[in-house]
Amino acid sequence: MTNETWGEIREQLQKRLGKNNYSTWIEPLVFAELTDGVAQFEVPTSFFGDWVRRNYGDHIRKLLISSGLGVERVDFTVNTAPRTATKPAVAEPAPAAKAPTRAKAMRSRAADEDLPGAPLDARFTFDTFVVGKPNELAHAAARRVAEGGPVSFNPLFLYGGVGLGKTHLMHAIAHDLQSRRPDLRVLYLSAEQFMYRFVQALRDRSVMDFKELFRSVDVLMVDDVQFIAGKDSTQEEFFHTFNALVDQNKQIVISADRAPGEIKDLEERIKSRLQCGLVVDLHPTDYELRLGILQQKADQYRDQYRGLVIAPGVLEFLAHRITTNVRVLEGALTRLFAFASLVGREITLDLTQDCLADILRASDRKVTIEEIQRKVAEHYNIRLSDMIGPKRLRTIARPRQVAMYLSKQLTPRSLPEIGRRFGGRDHTTIMHGVRKIEELMATDSQLSDDLQLLKRLLQA
Ligand code: ADP
Ligand code: MG
């Protein structure tokens, strides 16, 4: 791209975004280069880059495409040698220094060698992955694969809900393998891209090339494999690729949003193949993990904005309140720092509540006692009326206590309030029930599994 084109695009951005946004966020961008479908811009700070990526990245990309450029992604890297802000000149001199940028240094080998892989995100490394109870197994398995030693389980199948770190771990494996074993051909792509390439090969009558290419890699990683469910010819091709690589003892890593057996419209033979290796589940985050992730992010931001103060308790508050997924958590913190630095204020609890009101409202747990009673009754196959009724039979009293326990855990209701919803029981009865379950949980693994499942169902 010439700087002239960028000049024109900037004019369009100014019209679309308004003068203020334009001069704050677009004017300081310096176009660096366009290679392999990635348009690189230099930005003054990484926060700045994050902000522009989130808010305007798509606008910019679309405008670049509509001016005829093959752009798959726009990327923002921090410009280490500060440059004087440029005027929105139509023809400015080409930027002289092209310091090797982080994104460039980390570009996947796949792209360099014309493997049809997706670009790797330079931020998704093992260093930046916070390990906690919910993800420790997945992390350990990913580390093992990243060593590039003899294949000990194939495939590695990672699954879990949105935003729990599947893609992060896969990129981390690819980064690590690239530096540890540069001799290996590592291919990372999403299942959607796999399908797209396959369809393209069908259209171009180059299926043999496609097959050859995919069978020539040493490590194949396919992200979000649930995507190919129900897409018959792609599934078929995936199955053959998969088998060919396993036969050659090449490592395969797969991710999905659920366990292999639970993916609807996926062929049985594929399901059973996927279950042959190591299937690991990324559990929903717990409080400690969320706090750890927030602390890591906050440390990065603190380096970036010297002088920005974050009051004690703010991170704890966020870890407690935003339980949905890590992406939302990160977004919240980014917005908070952006806001605080714009207004030049300390990040206090008040500021946090103002700035994040919408996110906090959306992640409020809205589980009700009635829902809990209904789900628990269903799970243990008892009548809903028995939840509040007087029966003392163990087969009924125990589920009732489970419901009491969950009501205490998942709702903000007090013990007397809970008592009222359980047929007017006394608060000491509720307390006894809660304690009983806590006690049993430690020794009764069936019960603790039940509780985990119920919690997950109720919070979904
Ligand atoms: P998924 O692919 O499971 O939907 P991602 O890997 O895209 O989730 O993660 C979403 C965001 O959360 C990414 O920015 C990622 O870096 C971050 N993230 C998730 N888990 C962790 C973790 N354990 N430590 C640090 N960052 C994490
Ligand atoms: Mg993902």
pLDDT given for residue 115 in this prediction = 67
Residue 61 clears pLDDT 50, i.e. is over it = yes
Domain architecture of the chain: domains with CATH: 3-78 (3.30.300.180), 133-281 (3.40.50.300), 287-363 (1.10.8.60), 369-459 (1.10.1750.10)
Q: Which of 46, 327, 329, 334 to mutate to test the pocket of ligand 1 (most atoms within 8 A of CB)?
A: 327
163 is in an annotated binding site: yes
**Burial class of 58 by CB neighbour count within 10 A (0 to 12, 13 to 18, 19+):** exposed
Specify the higher pLDDT residue, 80 or 347. Answer: 347
pLDDT in tens, 338-349: 999 988 899 999
Q: Considering the chain, what percentage of its residues have pLDDT values greater than 70? A: 90
DSSP element (H, E) containing 432: helix 427-443
Residue 15 clears pLDDT 80, i.e. is over it = yes
* pLDDT band, residue 402 (cuts 50/70/90): very high
Q: Which of 157, 297, 326 to mutate to test the pocket of ligand 1 (most atoms within 8 A of CB)?
A: 326
pLDDT given for residue 456 in this prediction = 77
User: Which residue puts its alpha carbon closest to atom 21 of ligand 1?
Assistant: 165
DSSP element (H, E) containing 64: helix 46-66
Beta bridge partners of 281: 159
| Rounded Cα distance, 397 and 24, in Å | 63
| Rounded Cα distance, 442 and 102, in Å | 48
pLDDT given for residue 413 in this prediction = 87
pLDDT given for residue 47 in this prediction = 66
* pLDDT band, residue 114 (cuts 50/70/90): low
Gap from CA of 212 to ligand 2 centroid (Å): 27
For the CA of 131, the nearest ligand: 1
- Tokens 């589980």 found at: 367
Cβ of 439: how many Cβ atoms within 10 Å? 10
pLDDT in tens, 152-188: 899 999 999 899 999 999 999 999 999 999 999 999 9
pLDDT given for residue 433 in this prediction = 96
5 is in an annotated binding site: no
pLDDT given for residue 415 in this prediction = 93
Residue 73 clears pLDDT 70, i.e. is over it = yes
Average pLDDT of every residue of the chain:
87
Pairing outcome for strands 30-35 and 38-43: antiparallel
| Contacts made by residues 192-197, CB under 8 angstroms, sequence distance 24+ | 192/224, 192/227, 193/116, 193/118, 194/222, 194/228, 194/234, 194/238, 195/227, 195/228, 195/231, 195/234, 197/116
165 is in an annotated binding site: yes
Model's pTM, two decimal places? Answer: 0.63
pLDDT given for residue 108 in this prediction = 39
Specify the higher pLDDT residue, 159 or 25. Answer: 159
pLDDT in tens, 255-296: 999 999 889 899 999 999 999 999 999 998 999 999 999 999
Gap from CA of 118 to ligand 2 centroid (Å): 13
Beta bridge partners of 75: 40
Q: Which atom of ligand 1 is nearest to the CA of 132?
A: 23
DSSP state of 299: H
| Rounded Cα distance, 300 and 306, in Å | 10
* pLDDT band, residue 101 (cuts 50/70/90): very low
- Across 430-439, average pLDDT: 96
| Contacts made by residues 284-287, CB under 8 angstroms, sequence distance 24+ | 284/134, 284/160, 284/161, 284/164, 284/323, 284/456, 284/459, 285/132, 285/134, 285/164, 285/323, 285/325, 285/326, 286/132, 286/133, 286/134, 287/319, 287/320
Tell me, what amino acid is at 306?
A: R
* pLDDT band, residue 308 (cuts 50/70/90): confident
* pLDDT band, residue 396 (cuts 50/70/90): very high
pLDDT given for residue 100 in this prediction = 39
* pLDDT band, residue 35 (cuts 50/70/90): confident
pLDDT in tens, 352-375: 999 999 888 877 657 889 999 999
DSSP 123-176: T-SSTTPPP-GGGHHHHHHHHHHHTT-S--SS-EEEEESTTSSHHHHHHHHHHH
| Rounded Cα distance, 58 and 40, in Å | 14
* pLDDT band, residue 208 (cuts 50/70/90): very high
- Provide the 3-class DSSP secondary structure of residue 374: helix
* pLDDT band, residue 19 (cuts 50/70/90): confident
Alpha helices in 266-422 (DSSP H): 268-274, 287-304, 314-321, 326-343, 349-355, 357-362, 369-380, 384-388, 394-410, 415-421
The answer to whether 120 touches 186, Cβ cutoff 8 Å, is no
Beta bridge partners of 223: 190
Q: Which atom of ligand 1 is nearest to the CA of 123?
A: 16
